[in-house]
């Protein structure tokens, strides 16, 4: 039940009435337009929760584990692009957020993590539930604050949101000692921000016309160009510009997983995504191209394979807002420091103004179409439901109109292969850090942001168990997020590597009784019973193991008014293909898997 707010402050006020630091924080969050926080209380943060009960603008959602709350904030931020808030108490509450913060750092997600800290007089004294959270998170934040002076609290909140969401987005930590939360004072809410070392607000970096004309010249001279597009396109909300630029130039587009949906995967120019498990056509096109235009991506090892063998014949231009990404993993010919939205828009203007025509890349396009036709994502028919088939069926039943979150592993790759993402911010996945257990809380967060949209977590049985407690959050908070568990009773991706590299020796990759492994042919041995677990949480659930039940179950899941867990029993013997093994080049891509044991 929400109480009447006693600290209401309009947007233009700069001075507030006397109130507690905790109320100041809430007022400052309201000023930033925050409408939801994912917060787990404790001794050093309960003051903040008391203040939150008085807010009429902010919905406070209680996760059942701080990490769950952190990944709910991820789901919200990744689905909307807006900074999102998670909150925890000091000590263990805070340390449980560390993985979420590291994840936001890797994937450039605007996450604001607020933690309670012990009274300042106890800092450094190994007080109960004290950790140096500021120090602990230094290598994984874009920036962080320990609020030592209560008067600075409003300014710090404003700066934190600004830093998290501008430039290359990233996580910001605000650690607030309990005495600051309890102190009574008249807050002053600043209207402007002045951070001498961070001028992104005033001037986003912009490419010069000379640089962009050089890019155009490279395009004009190329016979085999490829656009390599990353998460930067989505962070900068530049997908419409990208689509226009691709049409204008006729260049094929290969995305990273972070960039999925920025370009329509069903467009003939789309190579969908490339990298370790990406399309053959995408990988070969990038490998053989003579011009690679990298837009907002970072030459990650899962994309490039062996870096020395990556796009060896190509001139490479790299446009990125983060200058430290230039020449980090791959030395490029033309590094351009720019806001990606500006750069693409200006490229389009320059192209039109000078009436450039498309380069003649007909031979290249034909070759690419041939590769696409010869090597689509494909899997062999099985007597059992396979993960690929389940995801394909989900795609058909949703007609692609859903936000998908995932855990990490085989199902994550198959989700990206068989669910065709056509719009940005619809594939919500922990890609840089690769955090198992991400899917369920992320789906809950995305669903909070978009209650009217269908949100489905495609998960594995290993991942699901890592944050299964968030079923309680979904149920109690009435957050209608769905989960499909691809239950193969194994840690499938590690099993796949064991098959390929370790002669199928299982090193703790079996999740059920090793002597009696569950599967489509041994249903009685399936462990644990996810349907019963879900029912224990009051969440409707269903298990399917037969093909003829699958479509009906997916329809039932979509139609159900409430959270839902659909457990699909699948064999563990399937491998994600194609695959470029570590240390190899795109040309050595594995198309067929040696049979696993």
Binding mask 157-186 for other proteins (x = CB under 8 A): ------x-----------------------
**Which is nearer to other proteins, 331 or 591 (by Cβ)?**
331
| Alpha-carbon gap, residue 123 to 175, rounded angstroms | 12
* Selected catalytic residue, list 30, 32, 47, 66: 66
Residue 438 a catalytic site member: no
| Alpha-carbon gap, residue 195 to 189, rounded angstroms | 16
* Selected catalytic residue, list 486, 493, 557, 579: 493
**Alpha helices in 512-546, H assignment, sequence order:** 530-536
SS3 589: coil
**Which is nearer to other proteins, 146 or 456 (by Cβ)?**
146
Q: Is 148 in the site for other proteins (CB under 8 A)?
A: yes
**Which is nearer to other proteins, 146 or 254 (by Cβ)?**
146
Binding test (CB under 8 A) with other proteins, winner from 102, 118, 146, 474 = 146
Residue 129 a catalytic site member: yes
Contact between 563 and 471 (Cβ < 8 Å): yes
Q: Is 139 in the site for other proteins (CB under 8 A)?
A: yes
* Selected catalytic residue, list 50, 120, 129, 220: 129
Q: Which stretch binds other proteins (CB under 8 A): 142-150, 177-185, 370-378, 393-401?
A: 142-150
38 has which bridge partners?
61, 86
| DSSP class per residue in 250-316 | ---EEE-STTTTSS-TTSTTEEEE-STTS-HHHHHHHHH-SEEEEES----HHHHSSGGGSSTT-EE
Binding mask 75-114 for other proteins (x = CB under 8 A): ----------------------------------------
Q: Is 198 in the site for other proteins (CB under 8 A)?
A: yes
Q: Which stretch binds other proteins (CB under 8 A): 138-146, 263-271, 282-290, 375-383?
A: 138-146
Binding test (CB under 8 A) with other proteins, winner from 82, 302, 309, 328 = 328
User: Tokens representing 516?
Assistant: 């009696």
DSSP conformation class of 330: S
Q: Which of 125, 65, 181, 155 is nearest to 440 (CA)?
A: 65
Q: Which of 252, 276, 275 is nearest to 265 (CA)?
A: 252
Residue 493 a catalytic site member: yes
**Which is nearer to other proteins, 146 or 553 (by Cβ)?**
146
Question: Tokens 């600290």 appear where?
Answer: 7
To the nearest whole angstrom, how small is the minimum distance from the Cβ of residue 53 to other proteins? 31
Q: Is 323 in the site for other proteins (CB under 8 A)?
A: yes
| Alpha-carbon gap, residue 573 to 575, rounded angstroms | 7
Contact between 519 and 495 (Cβ < 8 Å): no
**Which is nearer to other proteins, 304 or 412 (by Cβ)?**
304
* Selected catalytic residue, list 31, 142, 158, 178: 178
Binding test (CB under 8 A) with other proteins, winner from 45, 144, 249, 269 = 144
To the nearest whole angstrom, how small is the minimum distance from the Cβ of residue 197 to other proteins? 5
Q: Which stretch binds other proteins (CB under 8 A): 178-186, 205-213, 243-251, 319-327?
A: 319-327
CA 548, 549, 550, 554 torsion-angle sign: positive
Q: Which stretch binds other proteins (CB under 8 A): 7-15, 191-199, 248-256, 363-371?
A: 191-199
Binding test (CB under 8 A) with other proteins, winner from 122, 134, 299, 427 = 134
To the nearest whole angstrom, how small is the minimum distance from the Cβ of residue 226 to other proteins? 26
Q: Which stretch binds other proteins (CB under 8 A): 43-51, 107-115, 182-190, 322-330?
A: 322-330
Q: Is 18 in the site for other proteins (CB under 8 A)?
A: no
- The 3-class secondary structure across 57-97, one letter per residue, is CCEEECCCCHHHHHHHHHHHHHHHCCCEEEEECCCHHHHCC
Q: Is 192 in the site for other proteins (CB under 8 A)?
A: no
In the chain, DSSP finds a helix count (H) and a strand count (E) of: 23, 20
| Alpha-carbon gap, residue 574 to 240, rounded angstroms | 37
144-173 in b/e form (b: 16+ CB < 10 A) is bbbbeebeebbbbbbbbbbbbbbbbbbbbb
**Which is nearer to other proteins, 103 or 574 (by Cβ)?**
103
Angle of helix 280-288 relative to helix 362-374, nearest 10 degrees? Answer: 150
To the nearest whole angstrom, how small is the minimum distance from the Cβ of residue 493 to other proteins? 28
490 has which bridge partners?
510
Q: Is 152 in the site for other proteins (CB under 8 A)?
A: no
Q: Which of 423, 409, 481 is nearest to 68 (CA)?
A: 481
* Selected catalytic residue, list 17, 121, 128, 349: 128
Binding test (CB under 8 A) with other proteins, winner from 197, 203, 452, 594 = 197
DSSP conformation class of 325: G
| Alpha-carbon gap, residue 564 to 211, rounded angstroms | 52
Q: Is 196 in the site for other proteins (CB under 8 A)?
A: yes
Centre a 10 Å sphere on the Cβ of residue 551 and count the other Cβ atoms it contains.
15
Contact between 120 and 179 (Cβ < 8 Å): yes
Q: Which stretch binds other proteins (CB under 8 A): 11-19, 144-152, 261-269, 465-473?
A: 144-152
**Which is nearer to other proteins, 196 or 594 (by Cβ)?**
196
Residue 68 — φ and ψ, nearest 5°? -60, -45
Binding test (CB under 8 A) with other proteins, winner from 6, 33, 92, 195 = 195
Q: Is 143 in the site for other proteins (CB under 8 A)?
A: yes
**Which is nearer to other proteins, 333 or 360 (by Cβ)?**
333
Q: How many residues bind other proteins (CB under 8 A)?
A: 20
**Which is nearer to other proteins, 308 or 374 (by Cβ)?**
308
SS3 415: helix
Q: Is 135 in the site for other proteins (CB under 8 A)?
A: yes
**Which is nearer to other proteins, 146 or 281 (by Cβ)?**
146
- What are the residue numbers of the active site? 66, 128-129, 178, 493
List contacts with other proteins (CB under 8 A).
Answer: 134-135, 138-139, 142-144, 146, 148, 163, 195-198, 322-324, 326-328
């Amino acid at each position: 039940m929400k109480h009447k707010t006693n600290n209401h402050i309009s947007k233009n006020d700069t001075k507030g009435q006397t109130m507690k630091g905790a109320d100041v924080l809430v007022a400052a969050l309201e000023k930033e337009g925050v409408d939801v926080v994912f917060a787990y209380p404790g001794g050093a943060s309960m003051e903040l929760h008391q203040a939150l009960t008085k807010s009429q603008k902010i919905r406070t959602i209680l996760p059942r584990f701080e990490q769950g709350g952190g990944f709910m904030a991820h789901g919200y931020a990744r689905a909307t692009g807006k900074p999102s808030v998670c909150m925890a108490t000091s000590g263990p509450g805070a340390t449980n957020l560390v993985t979420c913060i590291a994840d936001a750092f890797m994937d450039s997600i605007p996450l604001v993590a607020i933690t309670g800290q012990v009274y300042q007089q106890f800092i450094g004294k190994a007080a109960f539930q004290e950790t140096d959270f500021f120090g602990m998170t230094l290598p994984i934040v874009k920036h962080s604050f320990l609020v030592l002076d209560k008067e600075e609290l409003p300014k710090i909140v404003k700066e934190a949101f600004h830093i998290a969401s501008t430039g290359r987005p990233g996580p910001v930590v605000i650690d607030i000692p309990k005495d600051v939360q309890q102190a009574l004072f008249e807050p002053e809410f600043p209207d402007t921000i002045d951070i001498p070392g961070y001028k992104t607000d005033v001037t986003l970096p912009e490419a010069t016309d000379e640089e962009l004309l050089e890019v155009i010249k490279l395009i004009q001279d190329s016979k085999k160009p490829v656009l390599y597009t990353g998460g930067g396109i989505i962070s900068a909300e530049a997908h419409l510009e990208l689509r226009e630029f691709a049409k204008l130039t006729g260049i094929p587009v290969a995305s990273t997983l972070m960039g999925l949906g920025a370009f329509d995967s069903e467009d003939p120019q789309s190579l969908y995504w490339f990298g370790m498990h990406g399309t053959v056509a995408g990988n070969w096109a990038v490998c053989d191209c003579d011009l690679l235009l990298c837009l907002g991506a970072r030459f990650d090892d899962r994309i490039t394979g062996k870096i020395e063998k990556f796009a060896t014949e190509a001139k490479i231009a790299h446009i990125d807002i983060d200058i430290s990404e230039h020449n980090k993993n791959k030395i490029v010919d033309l590094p351009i420091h720019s806001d990606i939205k500006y750069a693409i828009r200006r490229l389009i203007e320059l192209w039109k103004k000078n009436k450039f025509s498309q380069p003649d890349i007909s031979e290249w396009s034909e070759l690419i179409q041939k590769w696409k036709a010869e090597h689509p994502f494909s899997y062999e028919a099985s007597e059992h439901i396979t993960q690929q088939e389940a995801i394909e069926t989900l795609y058909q039943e949703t007609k692609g109109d859903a936000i998908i979150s995932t855990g990490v592993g085989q199902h994550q790759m198959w989700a990206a292969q068989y669910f065709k993402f056509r719009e940005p911010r619809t594939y919500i996945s922990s890609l840089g850090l690769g955090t198992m257990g991400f899917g369920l809380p992320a789906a809950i967060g995305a669903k909070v942001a978009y209650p009217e949209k269908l949100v489905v977590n495609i998960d594995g049985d290993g991942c699901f168990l890592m944050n299964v407690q968030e079923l309680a959050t979904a149920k109690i908070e009435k957050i209608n997020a769905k989960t499909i568990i691809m239950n193969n009773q194994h840690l499938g991706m590690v099993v796949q590597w064991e098959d390929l590299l370790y002669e199928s020796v299982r090193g703790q990759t079996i999740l059920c009784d090793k002597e009696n492994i569950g599967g489509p042919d041994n249903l009685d041995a399936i462990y644990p019973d996810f349907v019963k677990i879900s029912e224990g949480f009051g969440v409707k659930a269903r298990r399917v193991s037969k093909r003829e039940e699958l479509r009906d179950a997916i329809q039932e899941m979509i139609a159900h008014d409430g959270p839902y867990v659909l457990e699909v029993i699948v064999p563990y013997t399937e491998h994600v293909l194609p695959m470029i093994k570590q240390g190899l080049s795109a040309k050595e891509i594995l198309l067929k898997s040696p049979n696993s044991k």
